Chain A
Amino acid sequence: VLSTVPGSFRDPANRVYAFAGSSDGREDVSIYRGVNQQALEYYRDLAQAPFFKSLLENGRVVSTEETVSGEIFDAVRKDGWAGVLQHEPVPFITYPYEWTFGMLKDAALLHLDILETSLESGWTLKDATPYNIQWINARPVFIDIPSFEPWEKGTPWVGYRQFCSMFLTPLMLRSHLNIDHLPLLRSYLDGIAPTEALKFFQGRNRFKKGVMAHLSLPAKVEASIQKKERDDVEVQKRSTRSHSKAMVVGLVQSLQRLVRKLKIDIAHTDWSHYDRTHSYSDGEHELKKAFVEKAIKARSRKFVWDIGCNTGTFSRIAAAHADLVLSLDGDHDAVEQLYLKEKKEANSKILPTVMNLANISPNHGWAGEERAALDNRRSPDLVLVLALIHHMRISANIPTSMFLSWLRKFDAEIVIEFVTRKDEMVVKLLTHKAEQYEDYNVEQFSSECEELFEIKDRKILKGGKREIFHLLPKI
């Protein structure tokens, strides 16, 4: 089945298609791109350029080849495209509002490095959105090939404003003011406009690195244009002043230096030091690890989710037996720690993601389809839900039956740890709560599990304070 990818309609020069087929009884997705005549000609020139070949070899740009025949070629051409490119599929699509500070920073540097290299070779990138970057495990990859265009002498860096709104501003908000940039990126899908962003920077904060040049100045210029040209005043011509290559490359390089300098401190949150502060004794923790490992090893796993991953202790166990592990947690700093470790691993199989599991990324953007909800993307074949259920029930007020129904829709095996009322972490959660969640007990939990799953294995841990289950979906 060939279908268009909903998030790819904005650039009129091309459109992305997904082809879902099957090989060896497994579903396989191939990614194609229909391109117009000009984009096709640009691609053919680009494919010969040494700088582009080197970007491909280093894995900084997604592997791409032109397709010139076949059923899919014919089908895409029928939609009116002059040519067809095939890309290496990205294992799992994520969005910038799910990335940690470090991930957004590395994506920004990848964009700038590619742009700098391109400019030195007479090419440019026509836009600057982080949606053009995806992750192959813990490594960022640039995926929007038609964004490469020959640089016309005298033209400015056209993606500058977009780069600032979508990369630099959220990074500065987090680094300079410790403002959580993720909810902002989730709402402002086109980035945070300088006039809006500047409202966060008051007083002395306006003198922090990069704020004057990349927020105050653009905000001032934009406000003055708005003021001068509002109502029925005709739009004035903008300066057509020629931009030398030194101006364009110099600006790109100054942003590289600025982005490299932006840093955050990882706070000590409940989860950011989980591997040292968890409530298990060493022996009991080993029993839990052994149970999880046995369940994972029972079959070959293509795609595992570790929801509530903390700093990824169990994601690493899963990664030893799976093709890819998506590690999700709502605690930014815990996920950041995981990312910083994984990016150093040459063969990491972990994709870290920040996600509040009581409020997952929704379907949104144009027609509610442009950006897919977390549970509307590729499904896992195994989900680890370790020491999470008490937070879903007691902190987020989500009935366990509803949480289990949500898990059931993935048709995946589940390894879930139930934290009983006797456990000190649940005692802590209930201490100041008026509602005492009498329905929250292991008997009710296991009977709710049995309505949707078959309990393949279970084990009591921590002297009866916790119990871990391996569940198989009931057909």
Chain B
Amino acid sequence: VKSILKIALGIIAAIGGFLDIGDLVFNTQAGALYRYDLLWAVALGTLGIAIYAEMSGRVAAVTGRPVFDVIRMRMGYGMGLVALIASTAVNVLTVAAELGGLAIVLELLFDAPFSLFVIVAAIALVLVVALLPFGGIERLFGYGGLLLLVIVAVAFHQDPEWEEVAKGFIPSFTNSLLYFYFVMGVFAAALMPYEVHFYSSGGIEEGWTEENLRENRLNAVVGYAVGGVLACALVVISGYLFHPLGVEPNDLGTVALPAQSAFGETGLLLGLGGILFCVGGAAIDSSFSASYNLAQFLGWEWGRERGPDKAPRFTASWLIFLLLALLIVESGINPVEITEYAVVFSVVALPLTYLPILLVAGDRSFMGRHANGRFSSILGWLYFGVIVVLALTAVPLLLATNGGGG
């Protein structure tokens, strides 16, 4: 019973912790612009992150090696360093975006200057990390993020034409570059590299072994799949409310408007609360990822569970990354713009993260009987092909569409 409960709690935390500011903004934008047409891309991205998170968790549980360790081992020092620099830059941008998102939500809830709330948010994150154990941090943000289930309720309350919604899951293409920009955006927002870095390192923090493989599979597959329902619900409620009105949701606060329209102040508060926990959790995940990667690459002691005494350089680097993110947000750049750059540039770094996972997870000499089977291998390589195409087209699409401005 205890083990079933643990698995259930892990799945619940994965659901609540699935969305970050990139998903919130890109999916809402996608719905407003293309109604339900991009639901297929959200589903595709969700399946992709479930596949790769499961692989990275399996590699961590079987070999005791987190993703960045694997990257360096498989790609060597030179390419590993390139991957480290790219992923650190993207991670710091992501932390800045999430920190800015936290400050925006606090501003919407308490109406004080944004720049003050950036500092408050950073201090709150430091306190949470200092006071709670690793599992406690995961559960706090995972369970809190479940408040966002209100958007699923909003979708049912709106009662859209479900046949039209279902058609959105069939891939469709137009000759519009802007459409492809958003395909890339919603796909990449689901597959941010920090998610697998954090997932695999977190598995090691929690002492996963081969005995945890079932838990890993259920967390990744069920947790991310249900999290994907939240992501799809964002597209649906935005497509239903914003698309016919021509609203362009350029602000994080707009994401909560459909909940207000459907359920009044209660809906609004649930929506804002859910966003707060989702972006807060993502701020922790992405900042930890930056430190995990650096420490694993350089061979430092690492881990929240080891604490500042046993892993001082890991802890110091975490604080430095958070400070860098704080400075970026305080420089006045719109957090939504930072989000966009973080998502688009992460696409470029995706192959450097996912190729080594795929190679190691399929290597029988390394993984033994837990190596990828034929089905996992085919799916993994198919996704890797998609990832490479996106990596090659991301920046040209960003430039050609004026950053999604049309």
Q: Do A and B come from one complex?
A: no
